[in-house]
Structure 1
């Protein structure tokens, strides 16, 4: 995934005596993604290091690894062509890493930033692919929870639409509103009910999909505001 990297910060790291980490491809709120080489099977992969706060107790780190493995297994069972394939979950220095397929291309967010809004035809194509992916996931009880253009990849050459980061927020034990009252996630794409209650279902993912498609054809979401409070107010008025 994310075939355009910047630095080679992780070049010397070997995960699980198998995955040689190379260029950093991207960094988000919940993890950093690197390009890597699977030295056992001779293929390129992407690896995601889940962020842990400094000073996390060993027991909490082990629980995070168990949750990561459990969620990866669940997503792997969905087996849909528009859902990123998870190959493995490994541990390095007490931190879980998710090993995934490497999709050569750019994210929908990068496409919009580079070329502006997409055509209605392209948005419809992306929407159909994502709807099918979500339907397959929801049938197995898997929610995405953080659907946004940055988590949609467009494969170079084939045009395949690939949805990434299924359940990562849930794996990390993160809810929409943290214990300190801070918002966690992507507020412009978050359904109003998810802002106040984490016990939501597939309908919240479908809300996010609708907002994503609006952003694809307009260049920004209907709820774009200058402050978090403005975003939350706009979304809750719908």
Structure 2
């Protein structure tokens, strides 16, 4: 048990340091890491606002254009993390803070360095099943492509009011995915092709961050032109 506790301590410290090294307005700032009495304390910036999950609990769904705007900021955070070799592994509405004019990706507590495919000693999946890519539910490693699925599931949830496969555990979500496709995003409008591209079951065919950025920018530009 002592050996396992030490492994967990080192992993948490390593991952906290990775998160602390990310600097971007759409990523929560880690100010300090303090290890005392065998416990690790992470000092982060205070954010005054609501999580996307809390907002959706209040309003149900958001218009597609609002989701596109949130998506641009969230994607910028993910691209910054990926360029630094950091995978988030738990992108979901509860980890997206909305404060003032900022959209902030939080909770890098289970983030990992790209290429580190080790799991916890108990072999449990680390992440939220309803927002987890199918290949990860099958036991595959974290990856940029899996983060993009979670990003797509977050956009889907904001538009439709629930994730593509709204199960509470990995077995339920995996069973839903095997039984048939997720319900098409009927409220997505012009965002539907993007969301469907992000939620492709084949990670090789899933939209890349670069493709996604271009599509989101085009949607925002079209919305602006329509408004003037």
TM-score under structure 2 length normalisation:
0.68
Equivalent residue in structure 2 for 1:95, among 39, 53, 60: 39
Gap change, CA 1:97 and 1:60, over 3 Å in 2: farther
Q: Say if 2:130 and 2:166, in contact at 8 Å, map to a contact too.
A: yes
Counterpart Cα distance in 2 of 1:96 and 1:72: 9
Q: Say if 2:19 and 2:111, in contact at 8 Å, map to a contact too.
A: no
Counterpart Cα distance in 2 of 1:204 and 1:134: 12
Residue 59 (structure 2) pairs with residue 104 (structure 1): no
Cα deviation digits, residues 91-122 of structure 1 (max 9, x gap): 34322121111111111000000111112122
Cα RMSD over matched residues? Answer: 2.7
Higher helix residue share: 2
Tell me: higher relative CO, structure 1 or 2? Use CA pairs within 8 A at least 6 residues apart. 2
Residue 96 of structure 1 aligns to a residue whose secondary structure is strand
Instruction: Give the equivalent residue in structure 2 for 1:74.
Output: 18
Residue 101 (structure 2) pairs with residue 159 (structure 1): yes
Q: Tell me, which stretches of 5 or more residues in structure 2 are unaligned? A: 181-200, 202-228
Gap change, CA 1:226 and 1:84, over 3 Å in 2: closer
Gap change, CA 1:170 and 1:226, over 3 Å in 2: closer
Q: Aligned ranges for residues 51-200 of structure 1 at < 5 Å?
A: 56-57=1-2, 59-155=3-99, 158-168=100-110, 170=112, 175=119, 178-179=122-123, 183-200=125-142
- Note the C-alpha offset of 1:233: 2.2
Higher strand residue share: 1
